[in-house]
Chain A
Amino acid sequence: MTTTRQRPPRPARYAVPGMPPPWRTGVLCLVLLGVLAVVVVAALCLGEVVLSPAEVLGVVTGTADGGTTLIVTEFRLPRVLAGVLAGACLAGAGALLQSLLRNPLASPDVIGVSHGGSAGAVLLLAAGAPAAMVPLGALTGAGLAAGSLVVLGRRRGLSGERVVLIGIGLSAILTAIVTWAVVTFPITVAQQALLWTTGSLFGRTWAEVGWAALGAVFLLPVALAQLRQLAVLELGDDLARGLGMPADRARLGLLATAVGLAATAVALGGPIAFIALGVPHLARALAGPPRPIAPSGGTVLIGGLLGAVLAVGADLIAGNGLARPVPVGVITATLGAPWFCWLLLRSARAERPETERRTA
């Protein structure tokens, strides 16, 4: 590739030329934690009854009156925590899958886990099951989809290409189930089904949040521990074997973790649009060059926090900012997409073609 004008080499400011300063990830994480705290407090304050931050603080110290305590602990806190968990889990699942399947478009939607959750939830809704059962249906659906993916994809090794193709097939079948339900059942069921497929955090209970938290607390550290294997897999199977790592077993473990994270998030809030697809890219862009597709611990942390901020912030807008409450997935897509586009445009101007192929 020939470029028409030659760029003068940038003076190296740090020990490794082209690398971001080592403190960048830490500072970013702290900033994102701060933003998350602000968004969470705002989400606890705002609603049909507007509370002041002092009143919310009163709930924490136990000095608030019964009504305020009820609003915060029973209605708003579960929903906010659900947003944090779902956002973080989806972002983590997306980051793992994009590297594992070597495809920047890979996300739980592509391999059918999200659609499995949607189909399970929609079938239960159509059968007239009580609302409390629906997340269980989503979890079962996502689990079944993931199980079939692994069983069908595992044949003389678990190749990324084959998993993607089989995932596409599975998600097509599962989408067809959702479409069939939307076309066949009465309008009210169809609307609920659509709500589920976009992702919504409305009316989460402590029980649901508790189970999801258990899943996330177990899976996120596992994901961080597996990142090293992911980096080795990026070098190619032969090299991984040469380094003494059974590539297929590592891939199976990583796939299980990613799918578990996605299933946890989908059971909690449905496949909230854009987070799994977009946040890993945003996290890489924020973390700075050299942006390999394999996520590092830093980019996974940044991504998880970013996903949580985006989910809670979007839910805040979805619940309060508009004339009528809309599903949170609509807001994540509407806010996330232009930001993503802006990053895409900016990186097009800033990057040299050589680095471009490895990133974005």
Chain B
Amino acid sequence: MPKPAGPARAMLGWLGAVAILGLAAAASLFLGARLLPPVEVLRALTAGDASTATLVVADLRLPRTLLGVLAGAGLAVAGAVMQGITRNPIASPSVLGINAGASFAVVVAVYLFGVTSALGYAGFALLGAALAAVVAYALATAGAGPASSPTRLALAGAVIATMLSAWTTTVMVLSGRTLEEARHWLAGSLVARGTDVLAVSAPLIGLGLLLALGLARGLDALALGDERAASLGVHPTRIRLWGALAVVLLAGASVAAAGPIGFVGLAVPHAVRLVTGGEHARLLPACALAGPVLLLGADVFGRLVARPAELEVGIVTAVIGAPVLIALARRSDVPAEAGR
């Protein structure tokens, strides 16, 4: 656990994090398969004419960058909240069944209804994510009364996710057409989602972020255990319910917009926690800054490494994010008892 830094150092840290996010966003605007001179990019952002540069920058790279910021923040904060309400370090939005629900809904939509539009994908993904999460949450809390244990929540979600992803695979193994249609979406990508998808998911993610920040104190109390949280005047079940709602809003909207990107929600909170400590009032905003950095960095990398083709961002986040997580885990002195 890092020592509490002085206010000046903390401010410096926040400024640094914002600056890194700015750099990542700039990289996402300036770099790509088609190498444009920086002056050209700046002109394209302001001009609004019909040149190729404007087309590339304003219509492709700008929405993509915005989506990266939104989805990155949404997934990372959702992961932090999820780990908080389940008190389980393996928990992530995908453990509540969100990725599996979204994937299954999209695959079914493609298989049965032949959906092809980006907005259609997003709608079904959001529906599937929300349904899976509601079922998992209801299952975990039904009959348990006041003692909805965190383990129960994590287990119910994991089982729902296992079942749904097996069904997703079945549909794709049986129908080659569905596999062909949906496999790029399922890998997770920020490409060509269109502004209408962005307009749908942005308010949802914003709402989720506000809700999550409002829960910060309750999540801190929950980390002490249910009994102590209750003695501090915090209602554990209520915090869990609101937390789950925040996770559905954040991760559901992110997955709807960018596809099931698995790693960000799991790893970013861990990496950030090693720097900020476990206090949620600092952890959650830091995740909202670090998530987009990872997602945008991965997206830019994926654009450059396989030019002129692209590598899906969901693949790259894992390949560049995982070594960071491993290095951080190796560096930290997690005591053996911490897994409890």
Bound together: yes
Residues of A with Cβ closer than 8 Å to B? 1, 101-106, 110, 152-153, 155-157, 159-162, 164-166, 168-170, 172-173, 175-176, 179-180, 182-183, 187, 190-191, 194-195, 197-198, 236-237, 247, 273-274, 277-278, 281, 324, 326-327, 329-330, 332-334, 336-337, 340-341, 344-345, 348-349, 353, 356-357, 360
Q: State whether B322 touches A360 (Cβ < 8 A).
A: no
Q: Is B63 in contact with chain A by the CB < 8 A criterion?
A: no
* Chain B residue, CB-CB nearest to A192: B173
* Also in contact, A274 and B162, with CB within 8 A (given A1-B147, A105-B155, A173-B319): yes
CB distance from A102 to the nearest CB of B (A): 4
CB distance from A113 to the nearest CB of B (A): 15
Q: How many angstroms between the C-alpha atoms of A346 and B91 in the bound complex? A: 23
Q: State whether A337 touches B170 (Cβ < 8 A).
A: no
Q: How many angstroms between the C-alpha atoms of A134 and B18 in the bound complex? A: 47
Interface centre among A166, A172, A187 (most CB of B within 10 A): A172
Q: State whether A345 touches B330 (Cβ < 8 A).
A: no
Restricting to B219-270, which residues have a CB under 8 Å from any CB of A? 226-227, 230, 262-263, 266-267, 270
Q: Is B318 in contact with chain A by the CB < 8 A criterion?
A: yes
Q: How many angstroms between the C-alpha atoms of A281 and B156 in the bound complex? A: 12
Q: State whether B162 touches A277 (Cβ < 8 A).
A: yes
Q: How many angstroms between the C-alpha atoms of A334 and B170 in the bound complex? A: 11
Q: How many angstroms between the C-alpha atoms of A161 and B89 in the bound complex? A: 8
**Residue from the list A169, A176, A237 in contact with B315, Cβ < 8 A:** A176
Q: State whether B172 touches A169 (Cβ < 8 A).
A: no
Residues of B with Cβ closer than 8 Å to A? 88-91, 95, 139-140, 142-147, 149, 151-152, 154-156, 158-160, 162-163, 165-167, 169-170, 172-174, 176, 179-180, 183-184, 186-187, 226-227, 230, 262-263, 266-267, 270, 311-312, 314-316, 318-319, 321-323, 325-326, 328-330, 332-340
Q: How many angstroms between the C-alpha atoms of A105 and B227 in the bound complex? A: 23
CB distance from B31 to the nearest CB of A (A): 21
* Chain A residue, CB-CB nearest to B274: A165
Closest 7 CB pairs of A and B: A333-B166, A160-B339, A176-B318, A165-B329, A169-B322, A337-B163, A172-B318
Q: State whether B166 touches A198 (Cβ < 8 A).
A: yes
**Residue from the list B90, B262, B334, B339 in contact with A175, Cβ < 8 A:** B262
CB distance from A308 to the nearest CB of B (A): 19
Q: State whether B326 touches A176 (Cβ < 8 A).
A: no
* Also in contact, A168 and B158, with CB within 8 A (given A182-B187, A330-B167): no
Q: How many angstroms between the C-alpha atoms of A180 and B184 in the bound complex? A: 10
Q: How many angstroms between the C-alpha atoms of A142 and B285 in the bound complex? A: 37
Q: How many angstroms between the C-alpha atoms of A190 and B183 in the bound complex? A: 9
**Residue from the list A237, A324, A333, A348 in contact with B174, Cβ < 8 A:** A324
Residues of chain B within 8 A of A197, CB atoms compared: 169
Residues of chain A within 8 A of B184, CB atoms compared: 183
* Also in contact, A110 and B90, with CB within 8 A (given A166-B326, A191-B173, A333-B163): yes
Residues of chain B within 8 A of A172, CB atoms compared: 262-263, 266-267, 318, 321-322, 325
Q: State whether A180 touches B311 (Cβ < 8 A).
A: yes
Q: How many angstroms between the C-alpha atoms of A157 and B332 in the bound complex? A: 12
Residues of chain B within 8 A of A156, CB atoms compared: 333
* Also in contact, A169 and B326, with CB within 8 A (given A161-B89, A176-B319, A179-B314): yes
* Also in contact, A360 and B151, with CB within 8 A (given A182-B183, A278-B159): yes
* Chain B residue, CB-CB nearest to A165: B329
Tell me what chain A mostly uses at the interface: helix, strand, loop, or mixed: helix
Interface centre among A102, A110, A179 (most CB of B within 10 A): A179
**Residue from the list A110, A341, A357 in contact with B156, Cβ < 8 A:** A341
Q: How many angstroms between the C-alpha atoms of A197 and B165 in the bound complex? A: 10
CB distance from B46 to the nearest CB of A (A): 36
Q: State whether A164 touches B143 (Cβ < 8 A).
A: no
Residues of chain B within 8 A of A153, CB atoms compared: 330
Q: State whether B155 touches A183 (Cβ < 8 A).
A: no
Q: State whether A169 touches B267 (Cβ < 8 A).
A: yes
11 contacting pairs across A/B (C-beta < 8 A): A103-B90, A103-B339, A105-B91, A106-B90, A165-B334, A183-B312, A190-B183, A273-B166, A353-B149, A356-B144, A356-B147
Give 18 A-B pairs besides A162-B334, A173-B322 with Cβ atoms closer than 8 angstroms. A104-B154, A159-B338, A164-B339, A165-B270, A165-B325, A166-B329, A169-B321, A187-B180, A194-B173, A326-B170, A333-B166, A334-B167, A337-B159, A344-B140, A345-B139, A348-B143, A353-B147, A353-B149
Residues of chain B within 8 A of A194, CB atoms compared: 169, 172-173, 179
**Residue from the list A176, A179, A190, A357 in contact with B179, Cβ < 8 A:** A190
Residues of chain A within 8 A of B311, CB atoms compared: 180
* Also in contact, A175 and B187, with CB within 8 A (given A326-B174, A337-B163, A348-B144): no
Residues of chain A within 8 A of B165, CB atoms compared: 273, 333
Q: State whether B179 touches A191 (Cβ < 8 A).
A: yes
Residues of chain B within 8 A of A176, CB atoms compared: 314-316, 318-319
Q: State whether A187 touches B179 (Cβ < 8 A).
A: yes
Q: How many angstroms between the C-alpha atoms of A157 and B338 in the bound complex? A: 13
